[in-house]
Amino acid sequence: GAVVSQHPSWVICKSGTSVKIECRSLDFQATTMFWYRQFPKQSLMLMATSNEGSKATYEQGVEKDKFLINHASLTLSTLTVTSAHPEDSSFYICSADWDTEAFFGQGTRLTVV
């Protein structure tokens, strides 16, 4: 099966700083990737759809200026949490589809202190 790699697995940052999370499709090309957010003991909520070579599509209520998404190549999408605050602490997961199946990264646990 296809492999999606997400990095880092966990990160701790100070309030007010920015953090970049990478999502790579290792053995296939992905024109579309998805970014989800998961709060403790809750489900995954779609944040945005990342489109290669064009602007991301954000879900209602997601601040596009805070969660910057860049999909510069067919194998890499990045999510940058800008000016992070403690309420941004969460588990972030990316996915990409191959052969009509979604493959997920390992997730990134972000803690803002």
Partner 1 sequence: AQTVTQSQPEMSVQEAETVTLSCTYDTSESNYYLFWYKQPPSRQMILVIRQEAYKQQNATENRFSVNFQKAAKSFSLKISDSQLGDTAMYFCAFMKPIYGGSQGNLIFGKGTKLSVKP
CB of 11 to partner 1, least distance (A): 15
| Residue 15 φ then ψ, to 5° | -60, 135
Min separation Cβ 45 and partner 1, Å: 8
Q: Which is nearer to partner 1, 43 or 54 (CB)?
A: 43
CB atoms near residue 94 (< 10 Å): 29
Asked whether position 95 contacts partner 1 by CB under 8 A, the answer is yes
User: Buried b vs exposed e over 47-66: b needs ≥16 C-beta within 10 Å?
Assistant: bbbbebeeebebeeebeeee
Q: Which is nearer to partner 1, 84 or 105 (CB)?
A: 105
Q: Which is nearer to partner 1, 69 or 93 (CB)?
A: 93
Span near partner 1 by CB under 8 A; candidates 14-22, 30-38, 66-74, 77-85: 30-38
Q: Does 102 bind partner 1 (CB under 8 A)?
A: yes
Residues 6+ apart with CB under 8 A from 51: 31, 32, 57, 71
Which residues inside 63-92 make contact with partner 1, applying CB under 8 A? 91
Cα Rg of the chain, angstroms = 13
